[in-house]
């Protein structure tokens, strides 16, 4: 909750990846708030009041995951909405003649997106979701100390760079500093 708030303000891509990790933490703890309190919340050096707020936050996420049927896989609507919002911005950026650098970054990334989609077995997902899924998968491999090929690293670097640029544009848009010719 604390980290999520901070990341949402600072970097929307990091926020989404963090929230996906929270979904997986909830799954790993079998949707048991007591287990989450022991394995996650107790590790924070925070007041009891803040820890109680964290418990409520996790309970809300658990309820969302249950009610939305994403207990085994998938993402809650809250997180899917971030992808939808970013996709809308992404499409607006691609249409804008003022955003040639963004367009170039996208087209440089597109071949990696196409490759990832081909490897996904035909699972339908938005291009940006494909990018986030790749970065998240890479992060999970790193956490497990698994080796990553040079080819995969090259793709992840490009995708990460592209998502970073999109996050910058998202922040500029929030601040009213992004001027696109729609």
Q: Which tens digits make up the pLDDT trace of 49-70?
A: 999 999 999 999 999 999 999 9
Q: What percent of the chain has pLDDT over 70?
A: 97
Please state the three-class secondary structure of the chain as a single string: CHHHHHHHHHCHHHHHHHHHHHHHHHHHCCCCHHHHHHHCHHHCCCCHHHHHHHHHHHHHHHHHHHHCCCCCCCCCHHHHHHHHHHHHHHHHHHHCCCCHHHHHHHHHHHHHHHHHHHHCCCCCCCHHHHHHHHHHHHHHHHHCCCCCCHHHHHHHHHHHHHHHHHHHHHHHHHCCCCCCCC
Domain for residue 56, yes or no?
Answer: yes
- The answer to whether 51 and 44 are in contact (CB under 8 A) is yes
Domain for residue 87, yes or no?
Answer: yes
Domain for residue 74, yes or no?
Answer: no
Task: Report the range out of 3-12, 50-59, 113-122 with the highest average pLDDT.
Answer: 50-59
What does the pLDDT read at residue 163? 98
Domain for residue 164, yes or no?
Answer: yes
Domain for residue 73, yes or no?
Answer: no
Domain for residue 179, yes or no?
Answer: no
Name the residue range of residue 166's domain: 80-174
Whether residue 42 is found in the same domain as residue 85 = no
Distance in Å from the first CA to the final CA of the chain: 35
Q: What average pLDDT does the segment 137-160 reach?
A: 93
Instruction: Give 122's pLDDT tier (boundaries 50, 70, 90).
Output: low
Whether residue 86 is found in the same domain as residue 169 = yes
Instruction: Give 182's pLDDT tier (boundaries 50, 70, 90).
Output: low
Whether residue 46 is found in the same domain as residue 86 = no
Whether residue 62 is found in the same domain as residue 86 = no
Whether residue 165 is found in the same domain as residue 104 = yes
Domain for residue 154, yes or no?
Answer: yes
What does the pLDDT read at residue 140? 93
Domains in the chain, number? 2
Whether residue 168 is found in the same domain as residue 84 = yes
What does the pLDDT read at residue 123? 67
Whether residue 96 is found in the same domain as residue 17 = no
What does the pLDDT read at residue 119? 81
Q: What percent of the chain has pLDDT over 90?
A: 84
CA distances from 117 to 9, 30, 90, 98, 137 (A): 30, 30, 18, 29, 14
- pTM, two decimals, is 0.93
Summarize pLDDT for 9-37 with one digit per residue, the tens. Answer: 899 999 999 999 999 999 999 999 999 99
Mean of all residue pLDDT scores within the chain = 93
Whether residue 53 is found in the same domain as residue 85 = no
107 vs 1, which has greater pLDDT? Answer: 107
């Amino acid at each position: 909750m604390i980290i999520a708030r901070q990341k949402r303000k600072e970097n929307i891509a990091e926020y989404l990846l963090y929230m996906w990790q929270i979904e997986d933490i909830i799954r790993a703890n079998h949707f048991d708030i007591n287990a989450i309190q022991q394995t996650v919340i107790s590790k924070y050096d925070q007041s009891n009041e803040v820890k109680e707020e964290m418990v409520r936050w996790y309970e809300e996420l658990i309820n969302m995951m249950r009610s939305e049927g994403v207990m085994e896989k998938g993402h809650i609507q809250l997180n899917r909405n971030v992808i939808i919002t970013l996709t809308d911005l992404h499409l607006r950026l691609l249409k804008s003649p003022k955003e040639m650098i963004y367009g170039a970054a996208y087209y440089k990334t597109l071949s990696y997106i196409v490759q990832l989609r081909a490897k996904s077995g035909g699972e339908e997902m938005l291009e940006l979701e494909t990018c986030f899924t790749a970065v998240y998968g890479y992060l999970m491999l790193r956490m497990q100390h698994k080796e990553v090929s040079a080819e995969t690293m090259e793709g992840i670097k490009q995708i990460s760079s592209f998502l970073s640029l999109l996050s910058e544009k998202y922040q500029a848009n929030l601040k009213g500093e992004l001027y696109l010719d729609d």
